Amino acid sequence: MNLMPFMDWNDQLSVSVEALDADHKQLIEIVNELYDRILDNSTRDLLDGTFERLAKYTQIHFAHEEEFFELTHYPDTDSHRRKHEEMTSWVLETQRKLKSGELPAPPMQVALYLKQWLLHHIIGTDNKYKAHLNESGIY
């Protein structure tokens, strides 16, 4: 295991909704695990297993967010959902390629992409719903 995490949780990543912050922390943990597996030159089976966890948890988390959006009539739901759909498609396609041995980029580039996407999505997209959900009584 790597002594320095690939991604760290910090207060800048908080969306002030406990359940969604917990989801984001779990996603960061899975990306860190993927990074550690890449550094350890783990077998493809171990990478597959970690990526499968990522794919499943990504879908679970997106569903959690979208439930809150529906409950509170979040005005940017459609745009946000499209971003979720695009990422879900990318994750599932990358998972399929990993399983078949035809990964389009070196594993480290995949991990770097995931890190950048997640940080950008939380800070740039998810933070837009923070005030709306809090004003709707969701913390």
pTM over 0.75: yes
Report how far residue 55's alpha carbon sits from residue 120's, in angstroms, rounded to the nearest whole number. 18
Strand residue runs (E) in 36-135: none
Report pLDDT digits (tens) over 37-53. 999 988 888 999 999 99
- Asked whether the beta carbons of 15 and 21 are under 8 A apart, the reply is yes
| Structural domains of the chain, with CATH | 17-135 (1.20.120.50)
For residue 72, what are its two tokens?
């509170």
Q: Give residue 56's identity as a one-letter amino acid code.
A: K
Report pLDDT digits (tens) over 18-40. 999 999 999 999 999 999 999 99
pLDDT at 1 over 70: no
Between 101 and 64, the more confident residue is 64
